[in-house]
Amino acid sequence: MKKIILTLGTVVTLVLGAALPAHALYKVVGPDGRVTYTDTPPANAGGGKVTRLGENISVVPQATLPLELRQLQQRFPVTLYAMKVCDPCDAARQLLRQRGIPFSEKLIISGEDGDALQRLTGARDAPTLTIGAQVLRGLAADTWNAYLDSAGYPRESRLPPSYTNPAATPLTEPPPPPVALERRPTAPAPAPVERPIEPSPSGIRF
């Protein structure tokens, strides 16, 4: 009987290929502005707008990346979910930049962003990192580095000096501005009718 020994690297690699939790990944905005979420693409949105959460979420300009990093980015794209003002989020950005990881960043700004993060990752933790299908909630440098190692990312930066990560964008699209109601012109008020003042019996006019 053969024994199978799984090393930490093997376990991490297997986990990296696991599927994301089955959460709702479609956002539907109806004609009336009502927002709903679903885990299956709606057959008929009834004139509303359908957005797939997570679609193109890790789009990093690959033309400027070395071949090795382009291949890694295609297999295991890295996405950071963070807040603008957050010390652990700043530390997470620094870790990725110092190591030279090409990543995209999604900001959690509104309550709707938090709802979307819950559906995508199963929690509302910031920062959260995804490497391929693997979700890492909360900053733990050793754990993050271990998963990045197993995905094949180099320990030291190999990015060209001119490379810059794409700008961070909100996780969800901001709601459209309210439509101003058209005011119909009102007819001018009729001019008051002046009534002749009749003289009083005493002859005094008012």
3-state helix, strand, coil in the chain (%, to 5): 25, 15, 60
Beta-strand relationship, 103-107 and 169-170? parallel
Residue with the larger pLDDT of the pair 125 and 201: 125
- Tell which wins on pLDDT, 7 or 158: 158
CA distance 172 to 51: 9
**What's the pLDDT band for 126 if we cut at 50, 70, 90?**
very high
Domain hosting residue 129, numbered range:
64-173
* Residue (of 97, 93, 82, 90) closest to 137 by Cα position: 82
Q: Residue 158 is part of a domain; what is its CATH number?
A: 3.40.30.10
What residues does 134 pair with on adjacent strands? 131
Report helix, strand or coil for 146.
Answer: helix
φ and ψ of 139, to 5 deg: -80, 120
Which pLDDT score, from 0 to 100, does residue 151 have? 95
Name the band, by pLDDT with cuts 50, 70 and 90, for residue 162. confident
Collapsing DSSP to helix, strand or coil, 88 comes out as helix
Residue 99 lies in a domain: yes
Closest of 50, 30, 29 to residue 40, by C-alpha = 50
pLDDT at 150: 96
Calculate mean pLDDT across residues 170-198: 69
Q: What's the pLDDT band for 112 if we cut at 50, 70, 90? A: very high
Strand partners, 137: 128
For residue 86, is it within any domain? yes
User: Is the residue at 179 inside a domain?
Assistant: no
Residue 11 has pLDDT above 50, yes or no: no
Q: How far is CA 91 from the centre of its chain?
A: 20
Q: Domain total for the chain? A: 1
**CA 170 and chain centroid, separation:** 4
CB 104 within 8 A of CB 60: yes
CA distance 133 to 192: 76
Residue 117, pLDDT above cutoff 60:
yes
Angstrom distance (rounded) from CA 28 to CA 125? 24
Share of the chain above pLDDT 90, in %: 47
For the residues 150-155, what does the mean pLDDT come to?
95
Any domain includes 135? yes
Query: What 8-state DSSP symbol labels residue 196?
Result: P
* Average pLDDT value for the chain: 77
Convert the pLDDT of each residue in 41-54 to its tens digit: 666 656 667 766 65
Residue 30, pLDDT score = 73
pLDDT over threshold 80, residue 138: yes
Position 45 in a domain: no
Using DSSP's 3-state secondary structure scheme, residue 36 falls into: strand
pLDDT at 45: 58
Does any domain span residue 136? yes
pLDDT band of residue 198 (cuts 50, 70, 90) is: low
- Comparing C-alpha atoms, which of 78, 87, 84, 83 is closest to residue 144? 78
Sign of CA dihedral 141, 12, 55, 122: negative
**pLDDT-derived band of residue 6, with 50, 70 and 90 as boundaries?**
very low
In a domain, 188, yes or no: no
The reported pLDDT for the residue numbered 174 is 72
Answering whether pTM is above 0.75, one says: no
What lies within 8 Å, CB to CB, of 62 at 6+ separation is 70, 73, 74
201 occurs within a structural domain: no
Residue-level pLDDT at 63: 56
